[in-house]
Amino acid sequence: MGGMQEISARIGVVTGRGLAGNLRQHFPRPALFVVISILLVANIINIGADVGAMAETLRMLFGGQPLAYIIAVGAGTAALEVFVPYHRYVPILKWLCLALFAYVGVAFVVQIPWAEVARATFVPSLHWTPAMLTTIVAIVGTTISPYLFFWQASEEVEEQRLEPGERPLKFAPEQSADQLSRLEVDTWFGMAVSNVVAFFVMLTAAFVFHAHGITGIQTTEQAAEALRPIAGRFAHALFSLGIIGTGLLALPVLAGSAAYAVGEALRWPTGLEKSPRAAFRFYLLIGIAMLAGVVLNVFHFDPIKALYWSAVINGIASAPIMVAIMLLASRPAVMGEFTLSPRLLLLGWVATLVTTGMAIALLTALR
């Protein structure tokens, strides 16, 4: 995960373009639009699931009509992303990352046998059934996701434009030491935190739900209410905080990455630092993506299943996109003197081969 995110970030800082902009320039247009179509479908399903989960949690905490919360969450998030400039919005997103630690807190409220956890973590019990393969691909899809690649590259371009004097490294190689060191620290710290949180999410689910025979959760309300008698009111509150905070963090990334991908592919002005007037179609796409997610909830779809299957789609879709990213980042015509180091080549291709292998294994098992 860290390697792929660093590679995506490097493409942004070296070329001064996001992933879609580079794919448009160096790959056939049909391949570009297939990639973007997959990204849009998965992102909109994710948006719908996150909006539904947040609305359900707010209704559970404060009462009222679910539809009102669905509209408020979708409209409010879209408005913040459209009307708050990037340099003011990013600090909000960074502080929201603290909400992720609510999931870590839940694990320490629950009685967990840590010796058993350590043993099962490093010597897992795996059964290569279609159900387990699907779950592994879904975990890959939440960890190595196409929308994260597009968002990372585009946000590095945004950061570069905000810093006075900074230019794409392809044209200003003398700036590489400062820009690349900042990029590495930010990326690897963020990925480490992400994986710690993901571990605790799965750990808590295993010991709070699965160990007590609760295996059919269909809504976040069911999860929260199942948590209350087993882990107590405090864990229930932490779980609810985590759902809301995670949704507020995820929604702008999902909608924004979709808008960056389409905007760069069609050569529209893009960027969260631009005013709505200067990048009207880019912001319109953010609004449309959020609206589509809200509309999905009107049809009462299952948010838990939607999240699960969108993760499976992401896990399968990541494979060809990762191949394209690795080819881009290895080409001197794209990266100049900043083609990938042996370390990143190894990390990137290993991640690509593992992801591709898991996707092929799943598709073969489901035939």
Tens digit of each residue's pLDDT, the chain (367 residues): 999 999 999 999 999 999 999 999 998 988 888 889 988 988 998 899 889 888 888 888 888 888 899 999 999 999 999 999 988 988 888 888 887 787 788 778 777 888 999 999 999 888 888 889 999 999 999 888 999 999 999 999 999 998 889 999 999 999 999 999 999 999 999 999 889 988 988 888 888 788 778 877 777 777 777 767 666 677 777 777 788 888 888 999 999 999 999 999 999 999 999 999 999 999 999 999 999 999 998 887 777 788 888 889 889 989 989 999 999 999 999 999 999 999 999 999 999 999 999 999 999 988 7
The rounded distance, in Å, linking the Cα atoms of 240 and 61 is 8
In a domain, residue 253? The reply is yes
Give the C-alpha separation, 62 to 68, whole Å.
12
Residue 23 placed within a domain: yes
Helix %, strand %, coil % of the chain (to 5) = 80, 0, 20
The torsion angle over the Cα atoms of residues 162, 255, 38 and 319, rounded to 10 degrees, is 50
Question: How many Cα neighbours within 13 Å face the side chain of 263?
Answer: 26
What are the phi and psi torsion angles at 80 (to 5°)?
-60, -45
**Using CA atoms, how far apart are residues 69 and 71, in angstroms rounded to an integer?**
5
> How many angstroms separate the Cα of 212 from the Cα of each of 74, 206, 242?
34, 9, 22
Is 174 part of a structural domain of the chain?
no
pTM of the predicted model as reported, rounded to 2 decimal places: 0.89
Q: Locate all alpha helices (DSSP H) within 64-175, ordered by sequence.
A: 66-83, 86-96, 101-109, 114-122, 130-143, 146-162
Nearest-angstrom CA–CA distance, 22 and 45: 26
State both tokens at 310: 């969108």
Name every residue whose Cβ is closer than 8 Å to that of residue 277 and which is 6 or more positions away in sequence: none
Residues 6+ apart with CB under 8 A from 80: 89, 92, 252
Calculate the dihedral angle through the C-alpha atoms of 236, 242, 244, 245, rounding to the nearest 10 degrees. Answer: 150
CA distance 22 to 10: 12
Residue with tokens 């409010």: 76
| Residue 346 in domain | yes
At residue 3, what is the residue type? G
Q: How far apart are CA 106 and CA 260, in angstroms?
A: 35
For the chain, the maximum distance between any two Cα atoms, rounded to a whole number of angstroms, is: 60
> Residue 232: its pLDDT value, please?
66
CA distances from 197 to 22, 102, 190, 238 (A): 32, 9, 11, 13
User: Residue 334: which of 31, 28, 13 has the closest Cα?
Assistant: 13
Q: Are 173 and 347 in contact (CB under 8 A)?
A: no
172: in domain: no
Centroid of chain to Cα 51: 15
Residue-range definition of the domain harbouring residue 13: 2-161+181-366
CATH number assigned to the domain comprising residue 122: 1.20.1740.10
170 part of a folded domain: no
Cα 367 from Cα 130, distance rounded (Å): 10
Structure-token pair, residue 327: 């080819």
32 within a domain of the structure (yes/no): yes
Q: Is 187 inside any structural domain?
A: yes
Our count of domains for the chain comes to 1
* Residue 231, pLDDT score: 60
